[in-house]
Amino acid sequence: AQSVTQLDSHVSVSEGTPVLLRCNYSSSYSPSLFWYVQHPNKGLQLLLKYTSAATLVKGINGFEAEFKKSETSFHLTKPSAHMSDAAEYFCVVSVGATGGTSYGKLTFGQGTILTVHP
């Protein structure tokens, strides 16, 4: 079984300050991990993904995440927040699916709402 826990339901930062969104996972096998962003009443946009290659993953819009197996964590960071970063972020885990012809189920965390103050 696999699961994801996002440790903060809400995070509030000032524009220009660093962002840290925390995620811990549980998986019996080597997981694939993703971070998605969702703006209100919109679909999900992929920020970045980890698929057993480099542990430090760089994504779009200046976001990056580090896979730490010993801590079972995959925290999302950004050095400097922009107002446009305000949205809901989901940490997602999948087992047995890294692309190609096989796609496993995704398990979503509960989501973290990021608020950015001017």
Residues that bind other proteins (CB under 8 A): 34, 36, 41-46, 49, 90, 94, 97, 99-101, 103, 105-106, 108-111
CB closer to other proteins, 17 vs 110: 110
70 DSSP 8-state letter: T
Instruction: State the nearest-atom distance from the C-beta of 97 to other proteins, in Å.
Output: 8
Instruction: State the nearest-atom distance from the C-beta of 32 to other proteins, in Å.
Output: 9
CB closer to other proteins, 6 vs 73: 6
CB closer to other proteins, 14 vs 110: 110
Q: Say if residues 19 and 35 touch (Cβ distance below 8 Å).
A: no
Residues 73, 65: Cα–Cα separation, whole Å: 9
Residues 12, 118: Cα–Cα separation, whole Å: 11
CB closer to other proteins, 70 vs 101: 101
Residue entry with tokens 């580090």 = 66
Instruction: State the nearest-atom distance from the C-beta of 43 to other proteins, in Å.
Output: 4
C-alpha torsion 85→90→94→99, nearest 10: -30
Q: Which residues are CB-contacts of 43 (< 8 A; sequence separation ≥ 6)?
A: none
Instruction: State the nearest-atom distance from the C-beta of 52 to other proteins, in Å.
Output: 14
